[in-house]
Amino acid sequence: MNEPNREVMPSTEAPARKVRTYSAAQKVEWVRKYRESGLSQREFSKQAGIEYMSLYRWARKQRESGQPGQKESKSCLAFAELKSPASAARSDWAVELALANGTVLRLTKDTPPTLVDQLLRIC
């Protein structure tokens, strides 16, 4: 006997997503790790396997509420005079800073302090 032709209709429903919940302490820890990584929130969340928007909300909430683990966004930078070693006299650079995110900041001895301040704020 021949069976009637049956057409299978694809489901229009989105697949169920597994929802992960985090404790307040875990959220603080994720934000701390993100801030120490030097990565963007999007890059960090992708590498860590957490939702980008979750990390974004956690970091924003910590910043707005003054919770531990946040960087103070309006902090004053303090400068101290450092004596350059004799070997620095042979270099074109007076200072070289290597940041955790891979950024290298090289400054000559003639770099204005206001520019140093601006560069440190954006790095």
Q: Which two tokens stand for residue 52?
A: 């980008």
Beta strands in 1-123 (DSSP E): 95-98, 104-107
pLDDT for position 15: 65
Q: Is the pLDDT of residue 56 over 90?
A: yes
N-to-C CA span, the chain: 75
Secondary structure of the chain: what % helix, strand, coil (to 5)? 40, 5, 50
Tens digit of each residue's pLDDT (9 = 90 or more) over 11-49: 666 666 677 888 999 999 999 999 888 889 999 999 999
Does the global pTM surpass 0.85? no
Q: Which amino acid is at 116?
A: V
Q: Please report which confidence band the pLDDT of residue 73 belongs to, taking 50, 70 and 90 as the band edges.
A: very low
* pLDDT tens digits, 84-104: 555 555 567 777 777 777 777
**Dist. CA 55–CA 59, nearest whole Å:** 6
Return mean pLDDT, the chain. Answer: 75
Torsion, Cα 120 118 45 32, to 10 degrees, reads: 50
Predicted pLDDT of residue 67: 57
**What percentage of the chain carries pLDDT values higher than 70?**
64
Query: How many degrees, rounded to 5, is the angle at CA 120 between CA 101 and CA 64?
Result: 85
Q: For residue 88, what pLDDT is reported? A: 52
